[in-house]
Amino acid sequence: MIELILGGARSGKSRLAEQLAQDAGLEVIYIATSQPLDEEMRARIAHHRQQRPAHWGLIEEPLALAQVLREQADARRCLLVDCLTLWLTNLLLDGDPERLGRERQALLEVLEGLPGRAILVSNETGLGVVPMGELSRRYVDEAGWLHQALAHCCDRVQFCVAGLPMLLKGTRETGN
């Protein structure tokens, strides 16, 4: 089961993903894509760590997401990736201009037939104004294309608004 959860900033998407992972009854490995590049981000990361159950595994990987998913996937595990738009940003800012395309393709390929469960969290950025800068516009475009490709290959897609999930694809789990 591969699930994509989209939503805006502070929409409740991460909380929903964490609840689904906890309810799955599987070992949970949390895959964080953020990088503590400044004090504000370090504080956000620390807050997220405090909120998660202590028994969950943690892997911090800002770039090689497909490789980590391949290495960690198991029928007895739930892999929770938070978040894809930070991962995308990391790749856009990487010195290798070809890496984004390679990593995106590797992610889409590894998701097919991935054992166990994976929950992917990402920010929906295409609902606002068109950004003025070239990098910002590319980011919004790349995020939109990534989300479309992921939604096509995921078993379930949900969109969070104001803490409320809306099912876009698949079936709702019993009890959720």
* Two tokens, residue 124: 């929906």
**For 89-107, how does the pLDDT look when each residue is reduced to its tens digit (9 = 90+)?**
999 999 999 999 999 999 9
pLDDT under 50: residue ranges of the chain = 176
Q: Active site includes 48?
A: yes
Full-model pTM:
0.94
Tell me, yes or no, whether 6 lies in a domain.
Answer: yes
Distance CA(100)–CA(141), nearest Å, equals 13
- Give the chain's domain count: 1
* Within-domain flag for 44: yes
In a domain, 77, yes or no: yes
113, part of any domain: yes
From the list 48, 55, 147, 152, the catalytic residue is 48
- Residue 87, domain CATH: 3.40.50.300
Q: Is residue 8 part of a domain?
A: yes
> What does 59-114 look like in DSSP terms, one character per residue?
EE-SS-HHHHHHHH--TTEEEEEE-HHHHHHHHHTSS-TTHHHHHHHHHHHHHTT-
In a domain, 148, yes or no: yes
Give the domain range for residue 147.
2-121+132-169
